Amino acid sequence: MGAEEMRVYLDSPAAAAAEVVKKKGKVCVTGGAGFVASWLVKKLLEGGYSVRATVRSDPKFKEETGHLTSLPGASDNLEIFDADLTRPESFVPVVEGCVGVFHVATPTDFGAEDYDQKAARVAVEGVLGVLRACAASGTVRRVMYTSSASAVVFSGGANSVGKEQGGGTVVLDESVWTDEEFCRAQDVPIAAYFVSKTLAERAALDFGAEHGLDVVTVLPSSVVGPFLVPHFPTSYVTSLALLRGDREHCKLLRSMQFVHIDDVAAAHIFLFECPDVRPGRYLCSAADTTIRSLAGLLRTRFPEFHIPDELVGGEDGKDEEPTVRLSSEKLKGLGFEFRCGLEEMFEGAVHCCKQKGFL
């Protein structure tokens, strides 16, 4: 093909898009049908990547994929594979030929009576299986593992890295790890999930260091915003507790940290592409707030929900400071910028919930 023919060829939008995809390469997103992962798939397709998304085909856990296959660019650049963390070997053919892997999948569907025993084991074995496939592929140049800020915040005072600020606020960064025994002792069902994320992240970083594999972990705080999944996101039980009148989950909002789903996906891609990134942990949190501050925002923006004072607690007019703040300075120091604040987060979430009939 001559230079002139090449120019005409590239003037075609479809041809130009194909060239971009070829240049960006193929990546894998595990747990692709999930809340965060599906939005990440959307952003990767928009960014010119060819994406392989894994879902589970087991009839017991069969996942819908219509929200993935209907994405712009999906018909040409999205492949869906069956893979499961309980079968780590199932990721081998998916990872083959990929330049990067975004491991977002995490076990969440065990019964309450066995979750604590199984979740951590499956999470650790699953991440190690995915990483072994990446190491053997010969093509994967970086692995992005989606951890959670919960792998930092439940230190139980065992870590002295946090810096005291006015009002007793403690700032935590990536050097702090959740204490698994302290977390288990809290006697709340979701503590098992926090433990599993902590153990799996440690295993991922240890494997990367031992085998010379570039492993980068992203630790989002509570993710809020619009969503593609057809179901009510599990994390929204707490995030939207004030609007849903959920007294028990409101207790978890006394001091909270949030990040917009689009910023989370953008941070994953930024860290994957950034040449200055080194293996390790990167907190991803945009806003620290208290239940009173959050209630004030929601009452102003969504007065139709009539949030009662008894859900909020505290003294009227009393200013509060979050007891914990999360530092994302390591991520921002590389040049990443958060684009969305609390108002955008909750506007997107509420709009989607109303649209899908969840609120």
What's residue 141's pLDDT?
97
Q: Give the tokens for residue 190.
A: 């979701």
What's residue 15's pLDDT?
57
Could you tell me if 214 and 142 are in contact, meaning their C-beta atoms sit under 8 angstroms apart?
A: yes
DSSP reduced 3-state for 327: coil
Residues linked to residue 54 through DSSP beta bridges, in sequence order = 81
Asked if residue 236 has pLDDT above 60, the reply is: yes
Task: Work out the average pLDDT over 277-300.
Answer: 96
DSSP string, 241-281: HHHHT-HHHHGGGSEEEEEEHHHHHHHHHHHHH-TT--SEE
pLDDT band at 290 (very low <50, low <70, confident <90, very high): very high
* CATH homologous superfamily of 21-355: NAD(P)-binding Rossmann-like Domain (3.40.50.720)
Phi/psi of residue 346, nearest 5 degrees: -80, -30
Q: How many helices (H) and strands (E) does the chain have?
A: 18, 13
pLDDT band at 131 (very low <50, low <70, confident <90, very high): very high
Q: What is the side-by-side strand order in the sheet with 287-290?
A: 222-224, 255-260, 287-290
Give me the active site residues, please: 197
Could you tell me the pTM of the whole model? 0.90
What's residue 190's pLDDT?
75
The domain limits of the chain are 21-355
Percentage of the chain lying above the pLDDT 70 cut:
84
Return d(Cα 306, Cα 237) in angstroms, integer. Answer: 18
Asked if residue 3 has pLDDT above 90, the reply is: no
Asked if residue 315 has pLDDT above 60, the reply is: no
Asked if residue 316 has pLDDT above 60, the reply is: no
